[in-house]
Structure 1
Amino acid sequence: MSPAPTCSCRSSSPSRPCWSASPPPFAGLVIDAIDRKRLLLAALVVYAAAGTAPLYLDSLGAIIGSRAVVGLCEAAIMTCCTTLIGDYWAGSRRSRYLGLQTLVATVAATVFLALGGGLGAAGWRTPFWLYLVALVLVVPMYRLIWQPVPSSGKLPPLPWRALLVPCLITLVGGVVFYALVVQLSFVLDGLGVTSSAAIGGVSAAMSIATAAGSASFAKLSSRRPRTLLPIAFGLAAAGLAIVFAAGNVALVTAGAMVTGLGTGLLLPVLLTWATNRLHFDQRGRGTGLWTGFLFVGEFASPLVVAAFKAASGDLQQALGVLAVVALALAVVALLVVPRSAPPLNVTD
């Protein structure tokens, strides 16, 4: 499964592209109208080609262009994989695999960031060889993944009213989800931590907590989104508040882990809530639409934090403001999610 994209400009790591365009609605249309499997395999091949492009490109403009193509491919890959999970399984099994998707993405991001950092010692171009992993996946995916039989006839319209609220909450949720992923190293730097190993250790602790939050979704999916969304946003708010008040590395680590627990649970809850009730020939477009809102939120996250920092004068204070935003989202979820919304593991 493809990890969630980023805009942190860590271009040495293939786990997260430096710039992500947001074409998932188009990808979703192709998925519903034509074929899930072929688009996924084609996106993997182009992803590998564009990802390794900085190995031989010298122009900064061309390298930035290749990052945009990486973002396009990653959006298509994520949309295809998520749609296929919805196609293959239902109920609690679907919940289990959606949680596993976020868990694997988090672990992969951590591993590839570490590998990219290690390979970077051999030169700034060397980490881009890691993008060839995508090609290694093409053959087994071609053999093991099956294309569900498409519906015949005209595609039905999307249930826009049902999707609008989940997508809007996902937009702001993407800002919350991605904030500490980008800002954690800067917070530590502000506390005088300059050791790459120490920063990496705190980041790894947050990643482990995020994975644990994602893993918990399978057991919690029998509950309703009106219950789980406030819990997820509440945990994220509590973690960001701890980071805001922290004066040492131990407290920052604790706050990062609490935030990770919340955001790790948040993504599969939002995704399942938005797309669970979609039919087969709506699922690709609906998943693509949700992914697009998430990507825009993640892209905007550093900009929002920068605006909060400019207003408050300090990064930790900016994260404190974001904690208030996350807490407000927990309250909003209680107000806008109807009591009649079914449990997340109910698909029919």
Structure 2
Amino acid sequence: MSNTTTAGTRRAGVWQAILLLAGSCMPVLGSVLITPVLPQLSEHFAEESGAVVLVPMIVAIPALMIALFAPFAGQIVDRLGRKKLLIGSLVVYAFVGTAPVWLTGLTEILVSRVLVGLCEGAIMTVCTTLIVDYFHEEKRRNRYLGLQTVTTTVAATVFIAVGGALGAGGWHVPFWVYLAGVVIAVPMLFSLWEPSGSDPTDTHVDAGQPARVPWRRILVRLFVTLFGGFTFYVLIIEVSYLVVDTGISAANTGAIGGVAAVASLATAAGGLLFARLTKVRPARLLPVAFGLQSVGMMVIGVLPVLPAVIVGAIISSLGSGLLLPSLLTWVVTTANFEERGRVTGWWTASFYLGQFLTPILMGAIGAAFGGLAAAVGIVGGCAAVVAIAVLLTGRRQTGLNHPTAAQDA
């Protein structure tokens, strides 16, 4: 089988996939690179009013900006094109990402982080859209969407380590890593191209028909994606606190980091599993993914001791790795070329909004039900309900024999 796929009059291969997967890692860099130097930032800005809240927002605010801006990025993608927005966003990303190296005020740094989030929303939307644009063959497209989860998960682990190592030179130093945006933009400039709207191998809106967002087809799926974004980030954010709650000292960063690393590897394994299950439709994988999350979280909720936390985190993270590409494929691959940017933008917004809401919702659930482990168990129960609902809905759609049911499933 050829290792290339037609995209307009040009053919995309492994090199284009590598560039798009590398670009997909930039939003991950924005959310994790700075976490090791947050204590330094808190100490540096301790005298500023509201620093206790504002310093953590340096990490959190890009995710909110992605959620808010991604739909607008999708509009730009569909109306003005993919490549120019991607290259421009990467260059601006490098500039505003490194801005804290020379900025001195907390407010100015927060403004730069808002701009970083806007760029990340555009980068993630375009990279995902181009993967679907370039690779129409279902097996290869799903493989690369699965590898997107693997690469971003591995990149998150690497970026945390890099941020920690560079942080030894001061809190300014890790921000230099944002120059990676320019490093990636240069080969993209010469190796990527604008897909053709007349590509016969892609799906298109009927001639003369307006290209609108297919809300009837994707709205429920976006709500499922919002919930999936929330469950995906529960253990990423909370696993360290769960380990400490079992009696491990907060100073024992080796044990805490070890559990987090094992969970991260399980997430990557889930993405690899999706990449291998290319013949199974996403609607059939989603109940499995939510089910694995449910089992893992309920193990933690019922037995909040260290061995159970480790086992539960592995099971749940395996489900999370399977969940992310399944959700993405379930929503985005049903879109026609002319509407794909906006559909991808709304998917990205839904997923990252779930990420942003995770610490807020977990705090509220924990306060209501008596602690973090109980809250994780409650979320696991909700994931089980969603798994059953998606399973029953998928079976009902298959039985309707609707012309688009096979595609939507």
**Aligned AA (2:351):** L
Q: Distance in 2 between matches of 1:233 and 1:301?
A: 16
Q: How does 1:48-127 map to 2 (within 5 A)?
A: 48-90=94-136, 91-127=138-174
Verify: 1:162 aligned to 2:217, yes or no.
Answer: yes
Residue by residue, what CA displacement relative to the aligned partner does 1:252-295 show, whole Å, maximum 9, x if unpaired?
22211111110111011111111112111111111001111111
TM-score (norm 2): 0.79
Q: In the alignment, what sits opposite 2:230?
A: 175
Gaps of 5+ in 2: 1-20, 38-57, 199-206, 399-404
Q: SS in structure 1 opposite 2:406?
A: coil
Q: In the alignment, what sits opposite 2:60?
A: 18
Verify: 1:190 aligned to 2:245, yes or no.
Answer: yes
Gaps of 5+ in 1: none
Residue by residue, what CA displacement relative to the aligned partner does 1:159-179 show, whole Å, maximum 9, x if unpaired?
110011111100111110111
**Mapped contact 2:28–2:156 kept (Cα < 8 A):** no
**Aligned AA (2:352):** F
Distance apart, 1:7 and its partner CA = 10
Please, which of 258, 279, 288 is the counterpart of residue 336 of structure 2?
A: 279
**Mapped contact 2:33–2:162 kept (Cα < 8 A):** no
Identity over aligned pairs, percent: 44
Q: In the alignment, what sits opposite 2:55?
A: none
**Aligned AA (1:92):** K
Residue by residue, what CA displacement relative to the aligned partner does 1:169-205 show, whole Å, maximum 9, x if unpaired?
0011111011111111111122224322222221111
Distance apart, 1:56 and its partner CA = 1.3
**Mapped contact 2:29–2:155 kept (Cα < 8 A):** no
Q: Distance in 2 between matches of 1:73 and 1:103?
A: 22
Distance apart, 1:300 and its partner CA = 0.7
Q: How does 1:27-46 map to 2 (within 5 A)?
A: 27-46=73-92
**Aligned AA (1:30):** I
Q: In the alignment, what sits opposite 2:177?
A: 130
Residue by residue, what CA displacement relative to the aligned partner does 1:54-96 show, whole Å, maximum 9, x if unpaired?
1111111111111111111111111000000010012111101
Give me the CA root mean square deviation: 2.3
Q: Distance in 1 between matches of 2:314 and 2:121?
A: 27
Higher relative contact order (CA 8 A, sep 6+): 1
Q: How does 1:267-306 map to 2 (within 5 A)?
A: 267-306=324-363
Count of residues in Structure 1 that have an aligned counterpart in Structure 2 = 344
**Mapped contact 1:150–1:281 kept (Cα < 8 A):** yes
Query: Residues 278, 58 of structure 1: CA spacing in aligned structure 2 closer, same or farther, 3 A cutoff?
Result: same
Distance apart, 1:45 and its partner CA = 1.0
Query: Residues 140, 226 of structure 1: CA spacing in aligned structure 2 closer, same or farther, 3 A cutoff?
Result: closer
Q: Which has the larger radius of gyration?
A: 2
Q: Distance in 1 between matches of 2:345 and 2:288?
A: 26
Q: SS in structure 2 opposite 1:222?
A: coil
